[in-house]
């Protein structure tokens, strides 16, 4: 008797138990028992009242044990199709162009995408915990280009899109609780639509575009095959109960009486006796009852057809109907109309379609037996999924064994932050220093370390019940932290006097044309300027003065522009006198004479200087002290009052930003205004 299989189909309206034997891949049925719920303990295929459902499960179990004189200890069950959820998610990550993409990186990225899918599903769902039962990769991209494989390639960005499937924990825990209360160990767990599909549409038929609709009391599970595989699952929340509720309203009867009326519609009789809640009894023709439920049948057919069209994008080649609700009158006609396929291509599953089941011992067969037989057949196919426990960083985690489970699956269920699996290299730093490019590379990351039972492993390592998994998070590589003072020379200190203007020799720093201090931390793409006057020519540049127009004097002696600055140095500048030689048409520079810092410099004879201030031409008289005009002198020719600010002041010198210390020359265009003007 060790080869016996005990399967339970816990449905909205009833619990079906089947005991069978695996005879070389063929199910040999020993016995089947069906018990109906005495009250609505389940809603849309999900357990609401665990105690009530447990009692019905116990009744079915006891009947089978007594009938076969055996002790049932292990059971195969299935979760309702309404519990299966899917989520699509895309993930993009930066990569280091210097390092080829590895298999571990790809798997870690997929794991992170799975966790994002879990987070998104949890956010959009009332369930605060759910089990990932699998995922498929839909695509990879490298720098925006679709790739079939990423391993070994290099690039700046990689992306993946996956579809993940989940089961809410409430569904699983409810089923397990009912089994625990009846001392039954769950040895196999599958999904109802998968179980029915495996039995009705085996792999050799899946090249055809076929649809299986398993219509129960609370839900209608839909599965579609095409091009050799199952391409989608869905569920319609309209099912047999909608027909029952329609009968309740039309004939004023309770739920159980309406169920009896619905069952009687398949009996060969013209009239059905109905007793309503008021105690009145009447004989109603089946034709009248058919007409009363037509609207509900149309709603059922419409909803199922809409789900099929949404998944399949077209009408299928054929439809198989299973479940007790498949016997609903007019359903084939309605589906034929909505799906635009002949009625001959919509069939109720019968005995002839069950090639892998021996039904010779059964006195009765109906389409409502498809799911329990499919659950049992999943054991024959070795689709025996179950939960088992492991530890992840000392946290106990339960996993759903829908496939060979790996470290990655345990990580997902443990809540471990998958971002800590992939260490990212530090970001590189690029900037310009006085117009020249500078580059500093980021540090390489330290990868995460994974151990299974103290043995080095990775996220692809297969795990088994009771394993202990330890994860040491990855460490990101450091990004370079560079201050301006780290890259600039700042030797000179003190001050000089340049044409009477006190000028500090300390270095000035600019980041993107904004003055900063030496502790400024340089950011990527910054434009850094370090301004430090070391020579007289640096002072000319600092004050935007054309040194070719002036002579420089130190202690009354002419010096060249490469003269080195030192603390306390006094520099006087004198503008060159130009005379036009009409005959030679050449420029004559006045005789260079040495002057003393204590002797007044002779004033050159030159006409007044013409400039434009705020679009008005101004004649500037020559100054008695022979000093050049600076920008601050031009305030006198405007209506600007710096003591009464009206916003930020704008200073433009020949169209460029200026300061009050800029020297003014012939024909200069000067703008001094408030920013709001």
Domains annotated for the chain, with CATH where assigned, are 389-479 (3.10.20.30), 481-605 (3.10.20.30), 607-677 (3.10.20.30)
Radius of gyration of the chain (CA): 44
With 70 as the cut, is the pLDDT of residue 383 above it? Answer: no
Q: Which residues contact 280 (CB under 8 A, 6 or more apart)?
A: none
**What are the helix (H) ranges across 72-102?**
none
- How far is it, in rounded angstroms, from Cα 492 to Cα 534? 8
Scanning the structure block, which residue is given the tokens 């930020």?
648
Specify the pLDDT at position 609. Answer: 84
With 80 as the cut, is the pLDDT of residue 608 above it? Answer: no
Token pair, residue 173, equals 């825990």
* Cβ contact 192:222 at 8 Å: no
Q: List the one residue out of 235, 182, 209, 193 whose CA is nearest residue 55.
A: 182
* Cβ contact 383:459 at 8 Å: no
* Cβ contact 526:550 at 8 Å: no
Q: Which residues contact 84 (CB under 8 A, 6 or more apart)?
A: 133, 165, 166, 167, 191, 193, 233, 235
638 SS3 class:
coil
With 90 as the cut, is the pLDDT of residue 19 above it? Answer: yes
Q: 603 pLDDT band (50/70/90 cuts)?
A: very low
Specify the pLDDT at position 136. Answer: 61
With 60 as the cut, is the pLDDT of residue 587 above it? Answer: no
Burial 280-308, CB ≥16 within 10 A → b, else e: eeeeeebeebeeebeebbbebbbbbbebb
- How far is it, in rounded angstroms, from Cα 298 to Cα 378? 33
Phi/psi of residue 74, each to 5°?
-120, 145
Scanning the structure block, which residue is given the tokens 């005959």?
583
Paired residues of 398 in beta bridges: 389
Specify the pLDDT at position 471. Answer: 93
* Cβ contact 198:380 at 8 Å: no
Specify the pLDDT at position 24. Answer: 82
Pairing of strands 357-358, 586-589: unpaired
Burial 66-87, CB ≥16 within 10 A → b, else e: eeeeeebeebbbbbbbbbbbbb
Q: What is the pTM of this model?
A: 0.54
Q: Which residues contact 487 (CB under 8 A, 6 or more apart)?
A: 433, 438, 522, 528, 530
- Is residue 581 within a helix (H) or strand (E), and if so which, with residue range? strand 578-581
360 SS3 class:
coil
- How far is it, in rounded angstroms, from Cα 166 to Cα 152? 32
- How far is it, in rounded angstroms, from Cα 622 to Cα 9? 108
Q: 336 pLDDT band (50/70/90 cuts)?
A: very high
* Cβ contact 620:578 at 8 Å: no
- How far is it, in rounded angstroms, from Cα 7 to Cα 175? 13
Q: How would you classify residue 555: left for phi > 0, otherwise alpha for psi between -120 and 50, otherwise beta?
A: left
Q: How would you classify residue 433: left for phi > 0, otherwise alpha for psi between -120 and 50, otherwise beta?
A: beta
Which class for 9: exposed (0-12), middle (13-18), buried (19 or more C-beta within 10 A)?
Answer: buried
Token pair, residue 272, equals 């059905």
Q: pLDDT tens across 431-485, in order?
A: 999 888 989 988 888 888 999 999 999 888 989 888 999 999 988 888 899 998 8
Tell me how far CA of residue 61 lies from CA of 8, 42, 601, in angstroms.
Answer: 9, 19, 121
CB atoms within 10 A of CB 420: 17
With 90 as the cut, is the pLDDT of residue 158 above it? Answer: yes
Biggest CA–CA distance in the chain, Å, is 137
Quote the strand ranges of 1-53, DSSP E: 4-10, 14-23, 26-36, 42-43, 46-47
Q: List the one residue out of 28, 176, 5, 10 whose CA is nearest residue 74.
A: 5
With 90 as the cut, is the pLDDT of residue 567 above it? Answer: no
Q: pLDDT tens across 190-210, in order?
A: 778 778 888 888 878 888 999
- How far is it, in rounded angstroms, from Cα 674 to Cα 677? 6
% of the chain residues with pLDDT over 90: 21
Q: Which residues contact 407 (CB under 8 A, 6 or more apart)?
A: 450, 452, 457, 458, 459, 460, 461, 463, 469
With 90 as the cut, is the pLDDT of residue 656 above it? Answer: no
* Cβ contact 224:235 at 8 Å: no
Mean pLDDT of 490-506: 76
Tell me how far CA of residue 302 lies from CA of 22, 163, 245, 337, in angstroms.
Answer: 39, 27, 18, 9
Q: 497 pLDDT band (50/70/90 cuts)?
A: confident
- How far is it, in rounded angstroms, from Cα 537 to Cα 556? 18
Scanning the structure block, which residue is given the tokens 């985690």?
397
Paired residues of 416 in beta bridges: none
CB atoms within 10 A of CB 513: 8
- Is residue 298 within a helix (H) or strand (E), and if so which, with residue range? helix 286-312
DSSP symbols for 404-469 = --BHHHHHHHHT--GGGTSPPPPPPEEEEETTEEEEEPPPPPB--EEEETTEEE-TT-B--TT-EE
Mean pLDDT of the residues in the chain: 82
Q: List the one residue out of 596, 591, 658, 601 whose CA is nearest residue 626.
A: 601
With 80 as the cut, is the pLDDT of residue 127 above it? Answer: no
351 SS3 class:
helix
Mean pLDDT of 49-74: 93
* Cβ contact 72:60 at 8 Å: no
Count the residues in the chain: 677
* Cβ contact 240:13 at 8 Å: yes
**Angle of CA points 178, 182, 185, to nearest 5°:** 85
With 90 as the cut, is the pLDDT of residue 165 above it? Answer: no
Phi/psi of residue 244, each to 5°?
-60, -45
Token pair, residue 151, equals 């391993």
Specify the pLDDT at position 67. Answer: 92
Q: pLDDT tens across 276-323, in order?
A: 899 999 999 988 998 899 999 999 999 999 999 988 888 999 999 988
* Cβ contact 275:257 at 8 Å: yes
DSSP symbols for 232-252 = EEEEES--HHHHHHHHHHHHT
Specify the pLDDT at position 321. Answer: 92
């Amino acid at each position: 008797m060790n080869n016996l299989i005990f399967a339970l189909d816990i449905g909205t309206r009833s619990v079906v138990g089947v005991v069978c034997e695996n005879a070389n891949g063929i199910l040999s049925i020993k016995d089947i028992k069906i018990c109906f719920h005495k009250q609505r303990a389940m809603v849309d295929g999900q357990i609401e009242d665990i105690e009530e459902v447990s009692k019905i499960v116990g009744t079915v179990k006891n009947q089978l044990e007594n009938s076969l004189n055996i002790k049932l200890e292990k059971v195969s069950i299935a979760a309702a199709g309404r519990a299966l959820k899917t989520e699509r998610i895309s993930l993009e990550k930066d990569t280091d162009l210097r390092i080829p993409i590895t298999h571990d990186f790809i798997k870690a990225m997929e794991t992170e995408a799975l966790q994002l899918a879990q987070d998104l599903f949890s956010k959009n769902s009332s369930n605060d915990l759910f089990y990932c039962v699998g995922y498929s990769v839909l695509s990879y991209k490298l720098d925006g280009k679709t790739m079939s494989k990423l391993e070994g390639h290099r690039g700046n960005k990689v992306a993946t899109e996956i579809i993940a499937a989940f089961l809410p924990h409430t569904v699983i825990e409810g089923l397990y609780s009912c089994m625990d209360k009846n001392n039954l160990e769950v040895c196999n767990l599958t999904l109802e639509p998968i179980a029915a599909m495996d039995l009705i549409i085996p792999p050799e038929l899946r090249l055809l575009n076929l649809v299986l609709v398993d219509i129960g009391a609370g839900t209608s599970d839909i599965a579609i095959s095409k091009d050799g595989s199952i391409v989608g699952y869905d569920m319609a929340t309209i099912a047999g109960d909608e027909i029952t509720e329609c009968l309740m309203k039309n004939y004023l009867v309770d739920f159980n009486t309406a169920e009896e009326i619905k069952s009687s519609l398949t009996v060969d009789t013209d009239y059905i006796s109905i007793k309503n809640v008021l105690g009145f009894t009447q004989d109603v023709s089946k034709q009248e009852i058919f007409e009363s439920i037509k609207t509900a049948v149309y709603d059922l057919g419409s909803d199922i057809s809409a789900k099929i069209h949404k998944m399949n994008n077209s009408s299928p080649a054929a439809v198989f109907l299973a479940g007790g609700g498949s016997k609903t009158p007019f359903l084939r006609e309605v589906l034929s109309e909505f799906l635009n396929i002949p009625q001959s291509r919509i069939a109720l599953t019968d005995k002839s379609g069950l090639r892998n089941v021996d039904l010779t011992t059964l006195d009765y067969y109906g389409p409502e037996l498809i799911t329990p037989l499919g659950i049992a057949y999943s054991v024959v196919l070795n689709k025996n999924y179950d939960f088992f426990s492991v530890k992840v960083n000392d946290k106990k985690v339960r996993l759903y064994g829908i496939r060979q489970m790996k470290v990655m699956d345990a990580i997902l269920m443990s809540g471990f932050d998958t971002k800590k699996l992939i260490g990212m290299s530090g970001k590189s730093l690029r900037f310009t220093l006085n117009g020249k490019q500078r580059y500093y590379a980021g540090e390489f990351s330290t990868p995460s370390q994974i151990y299974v039972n103290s043995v080095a492993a990775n996220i692809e390592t297969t795990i088994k019940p009771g394993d202990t998994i330890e994860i040491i998070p990855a460490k990101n590589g450091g990004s370079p932290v560079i201050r301006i003072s780290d890259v600039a020379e700042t030797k000179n200190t003190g001050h000089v006097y340049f044409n009477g203007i006190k000028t500090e020799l300390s270095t000035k720093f600019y980041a993107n044309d904004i003055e900063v201090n030496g502790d400024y931390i340089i950011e990527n793409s910054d434009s850094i300027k370090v301004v430090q006057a070391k020579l007289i020519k640096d002072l000319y540049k600092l004050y935007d003065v054309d040194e070719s127009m002036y002579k420089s004097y130190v202690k009354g002696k002419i010096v060249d522009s490469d003269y080195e600055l030192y603390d306390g140095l006094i520099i006087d500048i004198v503008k060159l006198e130009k005379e036009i030689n009409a005959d030679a048409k050449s420029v004559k520079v006045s005789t260079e004479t040495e002057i003393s810092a204590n002797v007044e410099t002779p004033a050159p004879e030159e006409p007044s200087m013409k400039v434009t201030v705020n679009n008005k031409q101004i004649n500037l008289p020559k100054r008695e002290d022979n000093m050049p005009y600076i920008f601050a002198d031009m305030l006198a020719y405007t209506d600007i009052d710096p003591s009464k600010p009206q916003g930020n002041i704008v200073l433009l010198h020949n169209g460029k930003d200026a300061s009050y210390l800029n020297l003014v020359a012939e024909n200069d265009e000067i703008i001094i205004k408030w920013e709001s003007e």
